[in-house]
Amino acid sequence: MARLGVAVELARGGGDASLALTRVEREADRLNTLVGELIEVTRAEGDPEGLNTELVQLDELVRTILDDVHIEAQKKSVSLHPRISEVAIQGNPELLRRAYENIIRNAIRYSPENCQVDVTLSRQAAEVSLAVRDYGPGVPPDALPSIFDPFYRVEKDRGRNSGGVGLGLAIARRAVELHHGTMRAVNREPGLEVEIVLPVGVAVEQSQLAAQAA
C-alpha cells in the first residue's frame, strides 16, 4: 500500500505523467494480486473434516490447466511436455486446481525462453503424483526448505521479477494438506521439480468410475 501511495504522489507531482501512471497501474495490480492471494490463504485455512468434496478427474483437470496456460507458455517459447495417466480422486476441485495450476504456472514463469516444462501425472501403488519440472535456474539449496512458507521469495534469479508476492506455493501446500497430501521441491540439473503427492486412500478406482457412469 505504501508503494502505491508513493506512485500516486509522483503522478500528482507532475513530470512524466505516462511513466507515473504506468507505475500506479503496476502497483495497483500488485496490490490486487496480494489481496487475491490473501483471500485464497483464508479459504485454504479450512478444516479437512468440513471440506466439500466431489469426484475430480485429475487427468482432465491437468489438461484443462495446460490449455489455460498455453498462451503464457507460447509467449516465452516454452513447450509443455505432458505425460498424463488417467486418475480420479475424491476432493475439492477448486483447491486442487489452485495447487496444480500454481506449480505449473511457476514452472513456466521461471523457465528460460525456448525451453520446456515437463508435467507428469502418475499413480503408483500407494500414491498419486503430479511432478512439474522446469529447466530454469533452480533454487539455492538453503532456500528449498522455505519456498512453501507464506511471503517467502527467492532473492536471486527466481522471485523478484516474477510479479508474485510469495503466497502461491503456500496456498498450494495448504490445499494439498487439506487432502492429506504432501509437496516437495528438488533441484534438478538444470531446473527445479515440484511434486504434489496425494495418498492412494483418496484415489478412486477406474472400475468405480465406470460403475458411476453406467
User: What is each CA distance from 115 to 23, 89, 91, 193, in whole angstroms?
Assistant: 31, 32, 33, 15
Distance CA 29, CA 22 (A): 11
pTM for the model stands at 0.72
Asked if residue 190 has a cis previous peptide bond (ω within 30° of 0), the answer is yes
* Tens of pLDDT, residues 179-207: 899 999 999 988 999 999 998 665 554 44
* Tens of pLDDT, residues 42-86: 655 555 556 788 899 999 999 999 999 999 999 999 999 999 999
Cell of 64: 484443462
* Tens of pLDDT, residues 123-181: 987 789 999 999 988 888 888 887 888 766 665 544 444 545 467 788 889 889 988 99
Q: How far from chain centre, in Å, is Cα 179?
A: 16
Q: How far from chain centre, in Å, is Cα 174?
A: 12
